[in-house]
Structures are given as C-alpha cells and as structure tokens.
Amino acid sequence: MKREDRIAFARGEKEVDLLLTNAQLINVLSGTIEPRTIAIAKGTVVGFGEYPAKEVLDLKGRFLAPGFIDAHVHIESSMVGAGGYARAVLPHGVTTVVTDFHEIANVMGIKGIQLMRAGIGTIPLNLYVMLPSCVPATPLETAGAEIRAEDLKDLMKEEWVAGLGEMMNFPGVIHGDPEALKKIEMAQGKRVDGHAPGLSGKELIAYIAAGISSDHECTSREEAEEKLSLGMHIMIRQGSTAKNLEELIHIVNPLNARRCMFVTDDRHPADLIAQGGVDHCIRKAIRLGLDPIIAIQLATVNPACYFPLPGIGAIAPGYQADLVVLEDLREVRISQVFKAGRLVAEGGQVLPGVIDEKQVKAENTFHLPKISAEQFQLKALAGTAKVIETIPHQIITKKGVHTVKAEAGLAVADPEQDILKIAVVERHKGTGNIGLGFVKGFGLRHGAIASSVAHDSHNIVVVGANDADMAQAVQGIVEMHGGLLAVKGGKTLASLPLPIGGLMSDRSIEEVRNGLNRLQQTVKEMGCKLEEPFMALSFLALPVIPELKITDKGLVDVTRFKLVPLFGDA
C-alpha cells in the first residue's frame, strides 16, 4: 500500500476493508488490555475507532492478540513441506516462522533451501530464513553437501533472509576458525543465532564476542541466567524431545522478559496437530505462573524486535493485520486467525482455499551399497565399552561405561540390561562408512528401529537387539528412499516413507501423524520405553550436543569434540 493511501485510510477518508468491533486488544507494546475497534485495509492495521467499512465483525468482547511468531524452527522436522506445516500451525495462531533449513541443506545443499522456498508465495505464512551456518555440522561426520561462506553470500542479501542460523561449531568460533568467522562477518547487519549447549565462562564470553546473539540450547536455569546476563537473547524451547520451558520459564521477569522468546525447534506432526506450537508454549508458561501478557509478548513483539521483523509482532497502525482471536486468555483458546486481514483459520481448521500447496518433486538421495548383518558385527576388544545413555525429554545424553555382553568373541546387544547396539550408516556418497556403538534407555526387547532423519547429516541411524534386524531395517529405509521403520524377526512391522530428501513426506500432515502413531505403538509393543523414540533416535547422531553421540565415522565425545574408541573408558 502506498504511504499516501495508508494515511488516507487512517484519517477515515477511505472505506476500510474490515472493522473489528468490541475487541479486548492485547497491546504487547504497552503491556495492557484495552477495549478497541480495529480498522484494517489492504492487509494492514490502519487505525483504531470508528471507520467507514465494507465489512464489520463484532468480536463480542473476545481477546485479540498479534499473530504468534516461532523464532526458531526446522520445518523439516514436521515431516512435511512448508504448505503442510502451515496447514498445521495456522489454526494455532502461528502466522510467522523463522526457520533454518539446515536439515534439507545437509542432504541437498543450497538446492535444498531453494526446494523448501518454492511455492511459499501461495501460502499465508510469513516465512523468514536463517541461512544454515554449519553444513556439515562438524568434520566428524559425512553430510550430503558442504556450504561455505561464499555459497551464502548472495542469499544473505535477500529480504526473506533474517540472518545466519545457529552456529553449532562453537569450538571453531572460540578458536578462530577462519571459515566460521567469515560466515559471521558475512551476516553483518543481520542476526547470528547461537547454539552452545553447556558453554560457560570465558569460552562463552569469547563466543558472544564473536557476534553471536542468541541461544536456544539452555537446559538449566543457571545456564540461561549466565547467557542472559552476558547479553544473549534466550530462546526458551519446547519441542517434541527437548522440553526446556518448565525449567527456564522462572528466569523470566518484567525486567528481562524483552530478551526472551519462545521457540519449538523440532516438533513432530502429532504434537503440532494436538498441542500446536508457540501457542502451547504460551499456554504452558501461563499455567506455570507467567503473566499472560508477558507470555504473549514472548511469542510476538519480542522475536519481532530481535531479528527485526518490521511491521510484525504487534497490533498498531502500519502493522500487518496478523491477528489471533482468543475465547479465553489464560487457556489461549483460539477461535479465529487472520493473516494480513484475511480470515484463514476458524474452529481449529484452515479454511478451504486458503493454502494452495505445490507438490514437491522427490528425488532419490540414497547412494549406498547393499547392507548385510555382518557389517554390524563388533569384535569384543575389551570387557567394557562406552555407552550412550539417553535422558528422557532431552537431546543431551550421558556418557556411561558398562560391561558389554560377548558371544564367540563378538560384542552384542544385551536387551536384558537395556544395552542395545546402535549404528550410523553413511548414505550420501557411497563411502561404506558405518559407525558402531551401544546405547541405553530405549528398552527394546526385540528387533530394530531405523530412521533417515538423523540430525544433522541425516545418514541412516539404527538401534537394535540383533544384527540381522538392524541390517533389514537399514535396507528397508533405502528401498523407501527414506523414512522410519520398525523390524522384528526379519519382517517389517510398520513404516513411514519420507521420500523428500529422506526427511519429509509428500502426504498430508494428518496422514504422516497417523503413520507415526502406528510406528510408535509398534515400537512400544517391542518394549520401547521412550515417549518419542524416533525423535530421540534422530538426535543420537548429532555430534554438537553433549555428551556422547555417534556418526558414520564413529563414537564422538562431544565435550572433547573428537572421535573416541568404543571400548575402554579412555
């Protein structure tokens, strides 16, 4: 809209498109709730009060909030493309997302970012991108692509790019790695998000001094308070696996709240559909005692100011008319969602015709030879081995040392002790790499489960009670061109194909949810104790999250940032 037209609408000289009357406006700028009538023209809030209007909608005293913003999310973790993701989150009031496409970029490089951006113009969602900073995340794994600073230079100039995504290579930053610093320098004028789990003291200070603005990896109140006091913005995460809100919300007070915001990071289809995304964070924070207006600020004006996202995050003259109508403030019960002044969702559903999804063409991204059970055999080189110990509702792990079961000179899984074998099979370049280890906490009694969603390089990760089923599970993933699978006795019990990069489905998010529910029920019947076994599985291959992880190159001690031998305690 031309500036002159906006002024004319604001003065009441032109008829506006929509007048919302009898609203209880949640003013995130003043921190108050005000009875208001809101005038909207050409997708923009143009004034408050009485205006000549083409359409009048009486909100009957309901609350009106700005559209919610998810400040850090990987859309690929929803297992559907941008259109399917929008269909899930719009009814939950999310009208803006800041996403980092580093999942698909680790598989397909810059081409993956372009794939995810294709067709976004037809979707009523503000989509901003943080360019992936670490592809691959570390030199300790094999990814499908490598993205250097030079590859991002032109993209960084695009308006839809909000900055540089989570800088996971914190050791590289701290020790002055030229390529890491070049990427940070390239993002000057835009935000650089952080990723520094457990970093503290002078190393944290050095990381921040390099130009890192935020962190979403805090798991304790003490960690968040230190990072906040040193100038970082704290992204309070509540994902499907990493659930940090309950621990961190108590750091938020009226004096520091402006430097905090909500994020989901990685959220599975079932949680998106049933609980939502950022609205779930707001709801939970209020239940834990946070003032409702402050909670809504964490999901609206705070991230909008952080990036910044002009004209988004509040209801004020000149702002986009991205609005959420709430039946109840404390329960954040959403009745209607407007995007740019257009009603897009009502009663928990996206309205017909709102989303025009373009079908993403899938291509085979799996390049590896046939897998056999013998490739998963491990010679018992010692009586003890390092074991990855899972922690419920967290993506961090513990490093354990346990006695391992041996048969005929081979170290094998021991379901009785909940010690299973884990492997990561390289799938991008045909290297033949297979990293082998042990994991505790899954509880599987029989069979194997496998996934091509394995952050961040997305090789094939498999956990099993025997080598034959592990091989069968990996082969099944290859034949599907990606996905999730459960095998027992050489028979596939349940599967979910994800043919788009091995990460996403070409089906609806409801179909994906149903398939995932069937898989999780099957895995539960196999003895699994984890609430989200496939989400937990996907993070065991991420060598930037402490303490012990595994890649196609072997076992990684993340605290030392190096590959370590499986057997023994050194």
pLDDT value of position 104: 96
The burial class, CB within 10 Å (0-12 / 13-18 / 19+), for 117 is: middle
What confidence tens digit (pLDDT) does each residue in 294-335 have? 999 999 999 999 999 999 999 999 999 999 999 999 999 999
In three-state secondary structure terms, 426 is coil
pLDDT value of position 356: 76
Question: Residue 226 is encoded by which pair of tokens?
Answer: 């230190």
Question: Residue 304 is encoded by which pair of tokens?
Answer: 């909008």
Nearest-angstrom CA–CA distance, 85 and 301? 22
The answer to whether 448 touches 467, Cβ cutoff 8 Å, is: no
**Which amino acid makes up residue 160?**
W
CATH class of the region 68-309? alpha beta
Nearest-angstrom CA–CA distance, 18 and 38? 8
Q: What is the mean pLDDT of residues 263-276?
A: 93
Give kind and range of the element (H or E) at residue 279: helix 278-287
Residue 121 pLDDT greater than 80, yes or no: no
What confidence tens digit (pLDDT) does each residue in 127-171 have? 999 999 999 988 899 999 999 999 999 999 999 999 999 999 998
Residue 288 pLDDT greater than 80, yes or no: yes
Q: What is the mean pLDDT of residues 57-76?
A: 97
Residue 504 pLDDT greater than 80, yes or no: yes
pLDDT value of position 42: 97
Residue 40 pLDDT greater than 90, yes or no: yes
pLDDT value of position 357: 66
pLDDT value of position 392: 86
Nearest-angstrom CA–CA distance, 552 and 428? 11
Where is pLDDT greater, at 569 or 24?
A: 24
In three-state secondary structure terms, 439 is strand
**What is the pTM assigned to this prediction?**
0.92
pLDDT value of position 122: 81
What confidence tens digit (pLDDT) does each residue in 427-464 have? 999 999 999 999 999 999 999 999 999 998 999 999 99
| Mean pLDDT of the chain, nearest integer | 95
Where is pLDDT greater, at 242 or 487?
A: 487
What confidence tens digit (pLDDT) does each residue in 100-117 have? 999 999 999 999 999 898
- As annotated, the residues of the chain forming the CATH 3.20.20.140 domain(s) are 68-309
Q: What is the mean pLDDT of residues 513-541?
A: 94
pLDDT value of position 359: 63
CA 300 to chain CA mean position, Å: 18
Cis peptide, bond prior to residue 34, ω within 30 of zero: no
Nearest-angstrom CA–CA distance, 341 and 27? 18
CA angle 481, 483, 488 (to 5 degrees): 110
pLDDT value of position 360: 67
